[in-house]
A and B are shown apart, each in its own frame.
Chain A
């Protein structure tokens, strides 16, 4: 259905291969959350890997900050249609966190302050493709963007990069998290435009 008066803004040619279908590039950093922003001070924060694992693990803030760190520059894609290119984050690779616990299940449900959850296949969190990050652009991650720490899984739509993350529950079977139970796609590959169930 063509709307001949519509021109639109094309993605600049140099970025064309980096922007998935149906997305536009923004320089801002929109915030989308289903409830109020939780405020967890670092001293009462911890991060756990539990469930179907050989040995459940938990890190305090100090433990977490002492783990080997990585800084990555990635493009992020939100299901509400914006993409943001070349975002810089620092934190701990999920390879490090998962290896410590020895997962036996194939899926995880990430859980967060505020009650948010999201489900992911564990393979998507391994191989240098996912992190728990606590710094954005060289600064502590602001609470409205998920601080003290959030998941970063940039190859999936950004609702999978759960804000205020507190741990991973490793599971043998896949089950929907928060947005997934409200009709959003179970996996969420932006390059296949897996926005909603049935995509």
Chain B
């Protein structure tokens, strides 16, 4: 057989001696591989945004399906035992109980000089403070200060300016007339994004980038608001609360966390338990509304969901993320199939071009055989030439896809308006994409060159040399 170095040199020289043939053969593969890389990086990029930020698939919400017979509620109860059972699952990294505020409440206060008022009842969850313990910005502030009377401050007179010594953190409780620590509130990145993209501009409010920086610049006091427990903004609310129980508690927005409920407020669960007990009853204080489960990997969602249905008869609340995952998967599949079809058609084109070349180069092949080339050498030369086209086409395809992604990202940045979770790039060129694309390109080019190479190798030297 031909020495490898000599084969490589001959293949490169042959592949580059006819630019017309080279371009004709490479064009389709470049388009196909470019499409493959573009679609792959694009769908991964979009998937990262949608499933990583908008609908984090590794974090799912478990609820009890609602079941009732003859008006009697027979739904499963989510208790501390349920949380422990779920936590014991191998695919579960963390199980986080949530308890929703089950009575009417409103939030109100001033933000940037504007009066704000919003519904809190039903839109506020409580979570154990240990679940934000891994966040250094929240670990010292997101606590159930109300659980221990020792956290209370001195007596105060409601309505008096500077009634409490710690203006940033304390408020004067109008019910007990004592200085209390404000209820720490966190919001999700979704709420912050919705505020920035939907509320801020329309209300002339400032955009908030990094929440902690915003708080530091404007002061803690700007994050104050009050929660009117037992009150509601909803007309016709059928929940009746004893007016004697109505009270107002001070709250403070302390930060942003992906542990917070997607839309609404999140406070330490101790507050919600106590308030639910006071305003609704003991049952409301012992049953969780949902359990947020963090999976060890997104891929474990399906087996976990199956276990939920088969075992504790529970289900996943929000299927939107997995629906999006399926949609993206299908879109990716369709786009990749299109790319594959382009590449396969290109491989056929390469085969056609190489058949033509073999036909045109019959005499040359005959000469090579006459001076000592074996059938294997001839086959290796033709396949080598097609592989060279594969390498070059693959690299050009990758570069074109990358350039196209830059154009798309530029258009996204300059021509497309702001929207929630607007990414800086729609593409994620993971490290394996380019090598795979080039490998694929080589594979299809060699595939296209296979039959012509066989024909070239099988040419009888005498017949090849007899060509006019």
Q: Do A and B bind each other?
A: no
Chain A contacts to B: CB under 8 angstroms = none
Chain B contacts to A: CB under 8 angstroms = none
